[in-house]
Amino acid sequence: MRAPQNSQRMHPPTFAAISSVLIESFHVDAAAVAPEAALDQLGLDSLALMEFVFAVEDRFDVRIPEERLDPRQAGVTLAQLAALIDEAAAAKASRDVAG
């Protein structure tokens, strides 16, 4: 998995939306939800992690290729997920404008 480039930062609204999915749909303690929190440390099993990523992708109407993100991989943070969502949304928006 490639992490987002350091020059790209997540947008706070993206992180807020991801946080709400975790808290409301997956019942993760709000105190555990921080940009630096690793996905594999949120108390979700591997199936729930995949369901969480699908729920976030659905929320933003984007898909992140598996080679860009494996949520079961150790060390993937919520900030990295947010940046990947932002990147996928920007790419989708530019395709929508071009097409």
The whole-number pLDDT of residue 74 equals 87
The whole-number pLDDT of residue 21 equals 98
The whole-number pLDDT of residue 97 equals 77
Q: How far is CA 76 from CA 17, 88, 92, 95, 99, in A?
A: 18, 17, 23, 27, 33
pLDDT digits (tens, 9 = 90+) for 39-54: 999 999 999 999 999 9
What global pTM score does this model have?
A: 0.85
Residues of the chain scoring pLDDT < 50: 1-7
The whole-number pLDDT of residue 8 equals 52
Q: How far is CA 81 from the centre of its chain?
A: 3
The whole-number pLDDT of residue 96 equals 80
In the chain, the domains with their CATH numbers are 12-98 (1.10.1200.10)
Residue 30: is it exposed, middle or buried by C-beta count within 10 angstroms (0-12/13-18/19+)? exposed
